[in-house]
Structure 1
Amino acid sequence: MDDKKQAGKNNILSIDIGGSSIKAVLLSEAGEMLSDYIKSKTPSEAKPDEVLEIIFDLIEPIEKTYNRVSIGFPGYVKNGVVKTAPNLAKEKWTDVPFGQMVANKLKKSVRLVNDADQQGLGVIAGKGFEIVFTVGTGFGTALLFDGELLPHLELAHFPRNKRKDYDDYIGDVAFNKKGKERWNRRLQKIIKIYKTVFNYDALYIGGGNSKEITFKLEDNIKLVSNRDGIKGGAKLWQQSDKFQIKTLDPEH
């Protein structure tokens, strides 16, 4: 283990920013965990500078044997720039160059993508058309084909009715308000819609509320953990940049 840590130059710091917690782990280039999986609470209505400081404090115990950083972010990201953050401070994240901010703060190269995209890379089989759901504070989705990320679509924000979208329909607020039984029925409806519309080969469901699923899953649907998902930070550096997966280097 120590030899792998000291090999360092190919190690990757993987960070997952969620609506309820921020998590980090040191990975080898192959995705093996080289440090403890650590996390810290995400503040309510978290602003960019607050999240940046939490990351900086959180990773302090992790050995500085990495030169690349992968970040999964709960919103729409394009070329390392955050466009939306519906479960953080909603009015403070429009066109925020957060990837560059992290690169400058840590003095490392950074790739920043949607959190469901990063988790997807960590859990998929890499064969055929695969979809990832994250059910936690909100509802996240990722689309992948033969192990490659497809362009990110904020499918959670399709309207469910005149007042609510799918994020409202299946997110944590709905779980707490409607209860476990009704939430499960809602998730079953969403799975049925996705099966009809996308005809996926496999569906993976992760996020904090995935443990609350009570109905029987079809054979091509699998529950996955956040610990597995954060390993996608290694595979993120194996992806091409054709779909706005841009590498941000520190500014000097």
Structure 2
Amino acid sequence: MNEPRTLAIDIGGTGIKAALLDDAGSMIGERQRVPTPPKPVAPEDLVRAIDQVAAPLGTFERVSVGFPGYVRDGRVVTAPNLGTDVLAGFDLQSVLAEHLGKPVRVLNDADVQGFGAIKGRGLEMVLTLGTGAGTALFRDGEIMPHLELAHHPVSGNKTYDEYVGNAARRKKGKKAWNKRVVKVIEILRDVVRFDHLYIGGGNAKDITFELPPDVSIVPNTDGLTGGIRLWQKDPTAYQAADVPSGGAGSPPS
């Protein structure tokens, strides 16, 4: 019996990436990327972009999606960098399952990146630095769901998104932005008392300061490879939207 192949999708504020994973979570072939549709991103435009990025990858048996916002039972609650007004309430998980003809599991993108990065020991935290800022927390390898600090004030009335997101990096410059990241790490250490903090996302590459021993930068591909963990857990853990097993795995034309 052939091992199932997983279509892993990482939705970001500026780009949507996809790759096929084998049953161990290793990438099969090259990853694909398309630009994220213009904001606010309408549900149908998001699905169309997922079609586009997945089309070159071939067939698959299941789908994992990392979404940049708060997701509950596969349904979008917030999407600050895509457009909460148009996406709130959108059942991305069920819509994709019906559209692609395969079972789908959707989770916050920082959570998925964490699954690709963590070691499964102690209290581990993930901070993603991209268009905005995302967070995830794990205890002995188990996710502590719905931890989203992006909208929490971190300095005056500035949220994490506003303080260390991409707009702040471009406006303040790399040196000042790095000082802000140092401050965020110190705050998270005081509040969470993590054993290890993993920093990912597209802007992690712009960190120039020396990291303390309990902080490390992880590759952006963890946001894809972590998707395999969504299928290594109890099937009810993420409220998967399932479809009949005879469905076609390639995106419809």
Length-normalised TM-score, structure 1: 0.92
How far is 1:160 from its partner? 3.0
Look up the match of 1:237. Answer: 231
Match of 2:140 among 139, 143, 146: 146
Across the aligned residues of Structure 1 and Structure 2, the Cα RMSD in angstroms comes to 1.7
Q: Unmatched 5+ residue regions in structure 1?
A: 1-5
Corresponding residue of 1:54: 49
Counterpart residue number, 1:103:
97
User: The residue matched to 1:184 in structure 2 has which SS?
Assistant: helix
Match runs of 1:111-130 below 5 Å: 111-130=105-124
What CA distance in whole angstroms lies between the structure 1 residues aligned with 2:158 and 2:222? Answer: 31
User: Post-superposition shift, 1:161?
Assistant: 4.9
TM-score by length of 2: 0.92
Matched residue, 2:175: 181
CA distance in structure 2 between the aligned counterparts of 1:201 and 1:164, rounded to whole angstroms: 27
Corresponding residue for 2:24?
Answer: 30
CA contact (8 A) 1:207 1:226 kept: yes
Once residues 37 and 66 of structure 2 are traced to their aligned partners in structure 1, the CA distance between those partners, rounded to angstroms, is 17
Map residues 1-252 of structure 1 onto 2, 5 A cutoff.
7-8=2-3, 10-45=4-39, 46-64=41-59, 66-161=60-155, 163-240=157-234, 245-250=238-243
Post-superposition CA distance 1:148-186 (Å, at most 9, x none): 111121111112356421111110010011111110011
How far has the Cα of 1:196 moved from its partner?
0.9
- Does the Cα contact within 8 Å between 2:114 and 2:222 map onto a contact in 1? no
Residue aligned with 2:86, SS: coil
SS of residue in 2 equivalent to 1:50: helix
SS at 2:134's partner residue? strand
AA aligned to 1:186 is: R
Distance 1:138 1:212 in 2: 14
Superposition deviation, residue 35 in structure 1:
2.5
For this pair of structures, how many residues does the alignment match? 244
Contact persistence 1:143–1:152 (CA under 8 A): no
- 1:62 CA drift (Å): 1.1
> Structure 2 regions of 5+ residues with no counterpart?
248-253
Q: Is the 8 A contact 2:34 2:52 kept in 1?
A: no
Residue aligning to 1:3: none
